[in-house]
Amino acid sequence: MTVSASENSSSSSSSLAHLAPLQAVLFDVDGTLCDSDPLHHHAFCVMLQEIGFNGGVPITEEFFIENIAGKHNDDIAEILFPGDRERGLKFCEDKEAMFRKLAKEQLKPIDGLYKLRKWIEDRGLRRAAVTNAPKPNAELMISLLGLSDFFEAVILGSDCERAKPFPDPYLKALEVLHVSKDHTVVFEDSVSGIKAGVAAGMPVVGLTTRNPEHLLMQAKPTFLIKDYEDPKLWAALEELDKKSGKQTDGA
């Protein structure tokens, strides 16, 4: 059996204890709260095929991961329609409408999400969603997951001077919540998002929801987890609780 990147990283760098006392938890949305990438991929496939993109050959998952996943629509528009920004942005807007229809029927939380939610609530931690998703998408996904009352703030890449992979959205979240980067942890699933959290000076726990582990590791997450049931996460939270002088529930 081969050792995965996440397993290999766990022995040396999977500690969050230096964050004690933890003040806040920041979450990306797509792929981090819910496994939404297959819905995005499907919407892009269908709509790009309709306009004859790539000679009508459907885009591959590799193309999606490299050029689309985790990126802001401004950047996606430029990649798909270089030199025709207006057309690109209109295409992305129509694609998001298709995604929202799919999400209403098929969106599901990442395993263990509500267990982690309880852990966060029990400790009275501050929390925000930080996303490159358009506002209608972010609000819909958070609502469908039953998390509208959980998040104190939703920070959009489009509301910042620069979206992820730049640190601006995460820096804004710290400012809005009035918390320190030295006592805040980030959960992300994309290279773009991990880079943003790391650039903002925070430890990032990466989820291997859809993106390849070797690519995520290049963005320098503290460690990787499969989902929120992963024993590696709960071991780190238990250690953090001990450093803070608190008991861990459900670890």
Cβ neighbours of residue 228 closer than 8 Å, sequence gap 6 or more: 110, 111, 112, 113, 115, 116
Q: Are 177 and 186 in contact (CB under 8 A)?
A: no
Contacts of 15 (CB under 8 A, 6+ apart): 222, 236, 239
Q: Say how far apart CA 239 and CA 244 lie, in whole Å.
A: 9
Report the alpha-carbon distance of residue 103 to residue 35 in Å, rounded: 10
30 catalytic? Reply is: yes
> What is the distance between the alpha carbons of residues 82 and 101, in angstroms, rounded to a whole number?
27
Q: How far apart are CA 25 and CA 119, in angstroms?
A: 11
Residue 119 amino acid letter: W
Check: CB of residue 251 under 8 Å from CB of residue 228: no
Residue 39 CA to residue 100 CA, distance in Å, equals: 9
Residues in the chain: 251
Is residue 241 annotated as a catalytic residue, yes or no? no
Q: How much helix, strand and coil, in percent to the nearest 5, is found in the chain?
A: 55, 10, 35
DSSP string, 112-152: THHHHHHHHHHTT-EEEEEESS-HHHHHHHHHHTT-TTT-S
Q: Which residues are identified as catalytic?
A: 28, 30
